[in-house]
Amino acid sequence: MDSQNPCEGEISLNQWKGGNSVREVRHGSRGGDLEMLGLSQKEIGDDDARLVYLNEPVKSNERYEFSGNSIRTSKYSAFSFLPRNLFRQFHRVAYIYFLIIAVLNQLPQLAVFGRGASIMPLAFVLSVTAVKDAYEDWRRHRSDRVENNRLAWVLVDDQFQQKKWKDIQVGEIIRIQTNETLPCDMVLLSTSEPTGVAYVQTVNLDGESNLKTRYAKQETLPRIPEKEMINGLIKCERPNRNIYGFQANMEIEGKRLSLGPSNILLRGCELKNTAWAIGVAVYCGRETKAMLNSSGASSKRSQLETLMNFETIILSVFLIVLCSIVSICAAVWLRRRRDELDILPFYRRKDFAHGDPKDFNYYGWGLEIFFTFLMSVIVFQIMIPISLYISMELVRVGQAYFMIRDMILYDEDSNSRFQCRSLNINEDLGQIKYVFSDKTGTLTENKMEFQRASIWGVDYSDGRTSSQNDPVQGSKIDGKILQPKMKVKVDPQLLELSRRGKDTKGAKNVHDFFLALAACNTIVPLVVDDRLDSTVKLLDYQGESPDEQALAYAAAAYGFMLTERTSGHIIISIQGERQRFNVLGLHEFDSDRKRMSVILGCPDKTVKVFVKGADTSMFSVIDRSLNTNIIHATEAHLQTYSSMGLRTLVIGIRELNNSEFEQWHLEFEAASTAIIGRAALLRKVASNVENSLTILGASAIEDKLQQGVPEAIESLRTAGIKVWVLTGDKQETAISIGYSSKLLTSKMTSIIINSNSKESSRKSLEDALVASKKLMIVSGTTHNTGPSDEAAVNPVALIIDGTSLVYILDSELEEQLFELASRCSVVLCCRVAPLQKAGIVSLVKNRTRDMTLSIGDGANDVSMIQMADVGVGISGREGQQAVMASDFAMGQFRFLVPLLLVHGHWNYQRMGYMILYNFYRNAVFVLILFWYVLFTSFSLTTAITEWSSMLYSIIYTALPTIVVGILDKDLSRRTLLKYPQLYGAGHRREAYNSKLFWLTMIDTLWQSVAVFFIPLYAYWASTIDGSSIGDLWTLAVVILVNLHLAMDIIRWSWISHAVIWGSIIATFICVIIIDSVPIFAGYWAIFHVAKTELFWLCLLAIVAAALIPRFVVKFLYQYYSPCDIQIAREAEKFGSPRESPNTKIETNPILGSPHG
Amino acid sequence: MAMPSFLEEDTTLIDVNRDDPSSSSEGGGSDGDDKSILAHEIESKKPPTYSRFTQQELPACKPIITPKLVIVSFTLIGFLFIPIGKTALSASNNVVEIAKRYDMECIPEIYSNNILHYIQSVGTNKTCTVKFTVPKHMKGPVFIYYQLTNFYQNYRKMSYGVPLRSRIKDTKYMGSRSDRQLTSKAYEGAELEKCEPLEKVGEEPIVPCGLVAWSMFNDTYSFSVKDKALIVNKTNIAWESDKETRFGSDVYPKNFQTGDVIGGAKLNSSIPLSEQEDLMVWMRTATLRNFRKLYGRIDVDLEANDEIAVEIQNNYNSYGYGGEKLLVLSTTSAFGGQNKFLGVAYLTVGGFCFFFAIIFAIIYHFKRREIGDTAYLSWNRNPVGYYMK
């Protein structure tokens, strides 16, 4: 994320401080509060407010409406587990279908299967899930207990005593020691620091490891709760989940103070670098912001599953058709025999045994038919493959396991593994058509390095040496030398200048320039021991923006070392001389102003405002009448810098005279204590003071490309994936990064759209469309026909900026933009704000069925990550927010290539085949049952025993498809990376589409016919009994479906062998066991029938007859109309005759970089 | 402001941004530090370790269907299947089978308009003699079957109608029986509800109960050649397992066929079930509506052109449901009785395999593709617009 970059990052930065991190320390709430009184009361009405009386928990919670501090993350208690867990599980439609079937089967009129047998599959699935849930919940119970029993120091009877967390109440005063975790949300009252600052680490809350500063109010600061009673009332908003906002006011000794997010410490944070802090609990337990934020995340559903649902509906229609056929036939049969039914030996309607002959078990014609229908639903229930849903989940877990374990996806630098945060969309990775990428931190490393500076119109960039050789003298603390933690290479000439003090004009500008770099930021310097050298103390600059860190380190390297920051002042050691600057005011970055400023009271009693910001925003506030040639020179330098892909910032300065300062100060006070529209007011105050600046110069920071990015982008493009880069950077920077990352190539024609009104956007779009069409005609091919187009034709790149997008998105121009963009192989959007990123993603997502993927690393990418079909987070240097919002997370952009091209491809192929196979597997079984029903006068007898029916999808055939779904590989990793075009199979939906579905269903029909009718006619008019032929059918269908799968397995490892042959053997064993129970009708049937040659000949004939058509079609298709995957597979095995023979097969693991 | 709508949304966006990261920290449906098992796994910072399994590089064989393989294997299947087919066919042809339908023949002329009366009356003489000639030499043992048509022994009939009975079991005609009752005297009263309405007489259980036993076939045959009686061996016609385990030696028929409507055979109540082989044969319910059941064996050879006279006790009422009754004498082979289907099926499959093998060979001869030639990859074929066709 580009925190320092005007468009992109400020949002997060600004938000964290809530836009009102007002340094009130010196000029603190003196007058502003009173005038804001009325306002604030309006803001938080009594109804909506929570009143917290300091140190009076009982009074605070008079009405018992605040929750205590004990938390429960567990979902169930011992008693509620069963009902609630079941309720949760039955949210799935498939389970309800399952349940209805089981319930129907319990009605005696409809009982087809025994009670146990019919409940078993559902019970099996439910109990497996329940056991898993119970285990997880037990762990949560355990961690809750640990959490609730932690101890904290709470003020009781004017003394701090240890109290368990769960007993803490709203209104109590709590003391936290350094490195302790906060037990609840509390308003900071005082800290060990005289300025009232406290540092917290919010890593548990949002994953950011940087220290955040929090402030206690001046009024409460000096009080020591043990000695003097603090009485006061905090009126705050009701508990909400916004962890970055807090609105309240505190009434203390008749004064009313406003409180903001910078005054509150949240549960889960850790106190750092502060000896102690005292606060008053305002939200406890489940009402804390951390807990309120722990509700479920939205889940995505894979496209394959969505497609599959359509086929599931088709299968339901099949099911209804089958059931209707059976019931209509049954109706006709009953009608024709209605006169015989009374004493039919196999029907016997009349019961003569008990007095008057009555109808026995006969419900009348209509009802009989109705029951027949319902019974047939029960018998044919597995037409809808419920086991498929469970298998898919298991397969996804398995696939995730292999993705996580993949060594290629492990990033050594950040020591992070691949993360699979969402388990529903693995297979979508194989169909991505659009990749939306953030630039900074994603394509680049986000390790900012100060590269060049333009000061007062002079460019300093040559002859850089390491500052290491030249430690800055004199900056010592406790007799130890203070050094910045990070070394920056310096320009000797500039270093020389910077050391010269302020004597010359040039030197003065250099001095001010570096002073601005050191002061105009929100960096917190921390002094840490050097592990290697005990005489040296290291200065660690903690800050939320890597750009600021880079600038501060650069300033330190040139002798302007920021050594201390409190809320009231900063200390900068200038060439070894400690100087104190009073921070009179600080206007944080926001995406609107695109700059920040600090107002410093310098040691020489002058008041200066230092401003740094994006060039566009800065040049509008720089006094152009002064130093025109300097401005021109700087502009020229900026041009050079950004064309080199450097990130630039412009720095300006103005000295404030007394009246200006007073005016600003009044406005600032008023704005910063306002509750309504505080941010807007502050912004206004800021822009009032940030004008008529004198330009000092500009800085250029390099953001290095991540390793392997150009190769990765090239692979993705070869794979037919369109890569769009959405960045907040300037157009020039974006384009130069585009070139260096090979996103743009010299062969491309680029179309640039920069408009600042709707009309001009429309016109540019129209022109661009015409131009792009012309280009396509020139290159002589239609563009949208295949995945190979990018390679074949002269590609077009579209570069568009955020301002144009403002006019285009959400208007009728969207359509044109999409049309244009879909013709371009590359789209580069610069200067885009976070919401626009999401808008661009949705532009594509809503208009095509193609899959979109967003990849980013920062908070500004969260919206786009959530918007895309697949969101990938880079777990990089900049917090965890993107990762938290993502479906998959990894360490480097280049991992996208193995992730999509290898794992995505595998996942898609596996899952697609698995769905088809499961449809087939269940349908073939149902059809066999159906054929038999036609021979039993439609009375729904099953020759296959009920136990075999139930075990069919649990034992007989379940494991092989899951194992194949997890392990089978159509192509090796090496081949997939060598030919990225193979990824096109996913785009063309080759593994699963409705043509394949219908082909499979035709095949299913034939196979069921073969299985059913071969034994039927072979045993026609023989003495065969139902159980024996039933066993034959059972074994035949199980062997058949397993061999069918075996025929499609591509890689036969020992595991595949084990499960396929194991399943067949297991089936034999199960059938033998079932036939060994004397009270079953089929007792000993298998032993009896398996003694005959006919039985085995039937099995052989069935397998051959059923599989030969499929085999023939498969062969013809593979040989005469091969798909790319097929050819690549052959080449992988036999080697291509056109290539050198050493690229034969994967013999050794590919451990290095996929591109290396 | 030029972009008010955008800005407004921007602010809401931030809330979304801020809320979601921590909410999604819930991961797989749990909270805070306690993520789902998988998420927990992810958190571990250790680099993944190499194993052939985790890197999906287990040694594996990757068969590819090549034309040669197909042609060879189809030829082999042909060579395997055609002899089997021929053997099966000739075995079937060697089986001599005489099937004689007698149900209509055995109705005396005078009852031809009132068949049901004739068959249901106790008093009528049901003896009838049927004669036929042996067409070919039949080598003993010659198996005697009765064949019934249109008798749905596989019918699933709901066997009782009391709603929501506590014990619900199998409910077919096939299931109208208590297998447990048959195994031992101790279980005589077991699972009687499955047999309703033929489960009890008064309070006494019927043994064997249920529709299946009740409807047992009861025609009898006695054979003679040239006025010399042929001995019909009726032992060992049932399965060994039935005699040993399934039908108890201490279970005797009880209250059987005492109801108002007689379904079929009566059983000698002094003989234990384990010796009632006809019952065992009947109780093995048939697959299809037309079926044969073993009646007995003639252990001597029957010569060609022998005229066999069968004296039939035509007791069984197949007339009520329009079924036929046939008497079948048949020798047997390794492949069962006379049935050409399997032989034909094998010949067909084998023939098709040969056919495919030849066709493939011809096609392969004229049109072939180099296996694994990467020039066929779609992006290598005709670089300019292959997809245009």
Query: Closest partner residue to A1029 among B30, B64, B287, by Cβ?
Result: B287
With H, G, I as helix, E, B as strand and everything else as coil, classify residue A195: coil
**A564-585 burial string, b = 16+ CB within 10 Å, else e?**
bbbbbbbbbbbbeeeeebbbbb
Give yes or no for a cis peptide into A222 (omega within 30° of 0). no
Query: Closest partner residue to A863 among B13, B54, B63, by Cβ?
Result: B13
Cβ burial, residue A146 (10 Å; 0-12/13-18/19+) = exposed
Query: Closest partner residue to B64 among A114, A346, A1133, by Cβ?
Result: A1133
> Higher model confidence: residue A1095 or residue A543?
A1095
pLDDT for position A357: 64
In this predicted structure, the answer to whether residue A824 has a pLDDT above a threshold of 70 is: yes
Query: Closest partner residue to A782 among B15, B214, B388, by Cβ?
Result: B388
pLDDT for position B38: 39
In this predicted structure, the answer to whether residue A877 has a pLDDT above a threshold of 70 is: no
In this prediction the pTM is 0.79
> What is the pairing mode between strands A796-801 and A749-753?
parallel
In this predicted structure, the answer to whether residue B85 has a pLDDT above a threshold of 90 is: yes
Q: Are A345 and B342 in contact (CB < 8 Å)?
A: no
Q: Which two tokens stand for residue A832?
A: 């885009």
Q: Supply the residues of A annotated as catalytic.
A: 438
How do the domains of chain B map onto residue ranges? 63-95+339-371, 96-331
Token look-up 């290291």 returns A538
In this predicted structure, the answer to whether residue A1136 has a pLDDT above a threshold of 80 is: no
pLDDT digits (tens, 9 = 90+) for A102-115: 888 777 667 666 66
* Chain A interface includes B123 (CB < 8 A): no
**How confident is the model over B337-359, as a mean pLDDT?**
93
* Cβ neighbours of B284 in A, within 8 Å: 1025, 1027
Picking from A1140-1144, B340-344, B365-369, which range would have the lowest pLDDT averaged per residue?
A1140-1144
Q: Are A834 and B162 in contact (CB < 8 Å)?
A: no
Chain B: residue nearest A1150 by CA? B55
Report CA Rg, chain A: 37
pLDDT for position B217: 92
* Chain B interface includes A351 (CB < 8 A): yes
pLDDT for position A790: 41
> What is the pairing mode between strands B200-201 and B204-205?
antiparallel
Q: Which of residues 916-945 of A touch B (CB under 8 A)?
A: 935-937, 939-941, 943
Chain A: residue nearest B215 by CA? A345
pLDDT digits (tens, 9 = 90+) for B179-190: 888 888 888 887
For chain A, give the percent of residues with pLDDT over 70. Answer: 84
Q: Are B180 and A1079 in contact (CB < 8 Å)?
A: yes
* Chain B interface includes A979 (CB < 8 A): yes
**How confident is the model over B266-271, as a mean pLDDT?**
90
DSSP assigned state of A721: P
> Higher model confidence: residue A911 or residue A37?
A911
* Cβ neighbours of A295 in B, within 8 Å: 23, 26
Q: Which two tokens stand for residue A1106?
A: 């059923």
pLDDT digits (tens, 9 = 90+) for A731-754: 777 887 888 888 888 778 888 888
**How confident is the model over B254-283, as a mean pLDDT?**
88
pLDDT for position A1137: 67
The DSSP-derived string for B227-281 is TEEEPEE-TT-S-HHIIIIIS-TT---BSTT-SSS--S----TTS-GGG-HHHHH
Picking from A559-573, B39-53, B263-277, which range would have the lowest pLDDT averaged per residue?
B39-53
Chain A: residue nearest B1 by CA? A592
Binding residues of A for Mg(2+): 438, 440, 857, 861
For chain A, give the percent of residues with pLDDT over 90. Answer: 20
* Cβ neighbours of A805 in B, within 8 Å: none
In this predicted structure, the answer to whether residue A771 has a pLDDT above a threshold of 50 is: yes
What single letter denotes the amino acid at residue B328?
V
Confidence of residue A464 (pLDDT cuts 50, 70, 90): low
* Chain B interface includes A1022 (CB < 8 A): yes
* Chain A interface includes B233 (CB < 8 A): no
* Chain A interface includes B351 (CB < 8 A): no
pLDDT for position B7: 30
* Chain B interface includes A701 (CB < 8 A): no
* Cβ neighbours of B336 in A, within 8 Å: 1019, 1022, 1092, 1094
Query: Closest partner residue to B32 among A73, A1055, A1129, by Cβ?
Result: A73
* Model ipTM over 0.85: yes
**How confident is the model over A5-25, as a mean pLDDT?**
30
Q: Are A1122 and B369 in contact (CB < 8 Å)?
A: yes
**How confident is the model over A466-488, as a mean pLDDT?**
61
* Chain B interface includes A1013 (CB < 8 A): no
* Cβ neighbours of B21 in A, within 8 Å: 206-207, 859, 862, 880-881, 884-885
Half-sphere exposure of B231 (CA within 13 A, CB side): 6
pLDDT digits (tens, 9 = 90+) for A479-538: 667 778 777 777 888 888 888 777 777 788 888 888 888 888 888 887 777 766 777 778
With H, G, I as helix, E, B as strand and everything else as coil, classify residue A481: strand
> What is the pairing mode between strands A185-191 and A276-283?
antiparallel
Separation CA B358–CA B378 (nearest Å)? 30
pLDDT for position A433: 92
Binding residues of A: 438-440, 548, 589, 612, 647, 727-729, 831, 837, 857, 860-861
Separation CA A745–CA A730 (nearest Å)? 19
Half-sphere exposure of A183 (CA within 13 A, CB side): 32
In this predicted structure, the answer to whether residue A1144 has a pLDDT above a threshold of 60 is: no
Chain A: residue nearest B61 by CA? A1052
